[in-house]
Structure 1
Amino acid sequence: MEIAENAALVVIDVQKGFEEEFWGKRNNPDAEGNIAALIDHWQESGRPVVFVRHDSPAESRSPLRLGHVGNDFKDFVQERRGKGRGPEVLVTKTVNSAFYGEPSLDVWLKEAGIGQIVIAGIQTNMCNETTARMGGNLGYDVVFPLDAMHTFDLAGPFGWSASGDELSRATAVSLHGGRFAKVVTTEDVLRAAG
């Protein structure tokens, strides 16, 4: 695997609201450390970083709603914003895909001549997976370090449910097997990024 000199790190929804009990049991307690390592490496190497924030409507009950402390980035992300040597942008969105946000992620990447994105953040099977699928459809080379993200146990139809680990595995198999993204580890990315 190669990581381009101008590959963009897309850090999705690492917000305080995901620490609330509302979501239930999460997986991958190492996610934040791996996300921080990726941000640090990207900033030190001068590569571009995209910070994505989910802005739920203020009147919603979502822990990510505007005006609620849960809308804020987690401290370890906020402390790193603006510290890199490379370009940085904040994209805000109200849906699952970072490609449907403001400013347009697709336009920003294309104007910068960026063809490869590395996705990290929250949640694995929701906004991360949706962004990866759209990125693949739009022609980007998508890299998906599975240990730099997490999700939560989830109930579905027919009395079915799946744990965060099961959902992460399903996402990894779908993205990698379907050729939407290369599913790797943080260590793989850091090694390839030099």
Structure 2
Amino acid sequence: MSPPFPCGDRGQTLPIYIWLTVILLFAALAFFVFAQAASARNGAQSAADAAALAAAQDSRDELVQGLTAAIGTDDDWLDWLDGEKFQGTGASAAADRLAAENDSTVQGGVQPTVVNGFPGYRVAIETLYTVGDSIIPGTENRHAQAHATAVIEPRCTFATDADPKKPVRLDCAGHSVDIDPEHFHSDDLPDASVLFSVHLAE
């Protein structure tokens, strides 16, 4: 009795199975490479976001310190609420610190910028780690890069005819803050986040 399939057909299907196995294996390896690259990019972006936010938050703290010192001693203390009087002396160190905590380094320094009228910083980073070994040559030496921009947005408004020598009521995004320059204490100011918002620029 003859077999249901000629022996020659079996011999022909074996190379097809081998090729299918090789193709599936290559696809799996390629997917792994893309996953490695995506993970590195995500890590780089997280590091860039953290570094930019750290720079802006440091300058926000500087703004609050300057505002605190100016109230009651400087007739122009209300100008500090515009969010533009910081020097940014600690911004670079803050960005470097957060980048390092995320296994990355800041490239080219922290760059002051203005977005939609709000001051801030642009930070570019490069990861200390690489994408890793893969079937694609060179990935073992390739570092992920990313950049981010964070801005400082003032949240407080006050009457246009406010007298800086007299009590002033600030409206900080619905949060009322009363400041009496003649009887001011640092505890009269709310948290820095009430006075100034720090966020990533879109």
What's the TM-score bracket when you normalise by the shorter of the two chains? under 0.3
The TM-score with structure 1 as length reference comes to 0.25
Q: Compare the two structures and name the one with the higher helix fraction.
A: 2
Q: Which has the larger radius of gyration?
A: 2
More relative contact order in 1 or in 2 (CA 8 Å, sep 6+)? 1
Q: Compare the two structures and name the one with the higher strand fraction.
A: 2
